[in-house]
Amino acid sequence: GAGVSQSPRYKVAKRGQDVALRCDPISGHVSLFWYQQALGQGPEFLTYFQNEAQLDKSGLPSDRFFAERPEGSVSTLKIQRTQQEDSAVYLCASSGRTGDNEQFFGPGTRLTVL
Amino acid sequence: AQSVTQLDSQVPVFEEAPVELRCNYSSSVSVYLFWYVQYPNQGLQLLLKYLSGSTLVKGINGFEAEFNKSQTSFHLRKPSVHISDTAEYFCAVKDSGYSTLTFGKGTMLLVSP
């Protein structure tokens, strides 16, 4: 079956622009995670959904970052008024059941803010 | 709070040689441990995981790792590497009662002929 997909794969934004990054998890997966991976670093947790409920958003770096998953499937990560420090790869992952330990990752969206 | 330390940012090795990628973690609670591989411009793929039971865990592509609780380590090993193993490898930890992963900074494995 299809894995986790993300779009766009690459995004270039001018500083101050708003961007929206999309994640399509594996069908039926309950849990969805967003991570930010800066150049040369490991992924860092941003936020976590269980179905449509956002259970943890402690990793969001500022109030310019907002994530939603209104119908419990597709999720969107929105960044308002982008800054150069927002340049990174944004990874989405999903897992099948509550407490399931394996997360399946998408290919990521590489965001470059000029 | 959890943390993961990958001591080597790069590990160069010749093809068919053995390799060990080191990972140490800190956590105050029971943990699960993972190794992921990331090829260029791709997402992360799970190599192996330790949840409980035998401390020696075998994964895909001939990799294995050993959980050592006393040394808080989970080093990744392969007895004979291939050119195709060239990639970034990430160690990650997860509290048994929590959902998110904490990753190390990664180790770039460079295999040359």
Q: Does A25 touch chain B (CB under 8 A)?
A: no
Distance, CA of A79 to CA of A17 (rounded, Å): 8
Contact A50/A109 with Cβ under 8 angstroms?
Answer: no
CA distance B43 to chain A (A): 4
Sign of CA dihedral A58, B33, A94, B86: positive
Asked if A102's CB is within 8 angstroms of B46's CB, the reply is yes
CA distance A30 to A72: 7
**Looking at the complex, does the CB of residue B106 fall below 8 Å from at least one CB of chain A?**
yes
User: What is the block-wise mean pLDDT of chain A (114 residues), using blocks of 10 residues?
Assistant: 90 97 94 94 94 94 96 96 97 80 91 97
Contact B103 A105 (CB under 8 A): no
**For B104, which of A33, A42, A55 is closest by C-beta distance?**
A42
pLDDT of residue A47: 96
Determine the pLDDT at residue A98.
59
Q: Please report, for residues A46, A47, B67, B106, the alpha-carbon distance to residue A62 in angstroms, rounded to integers and kept in the order given.
A: 10, 12, 36, 25
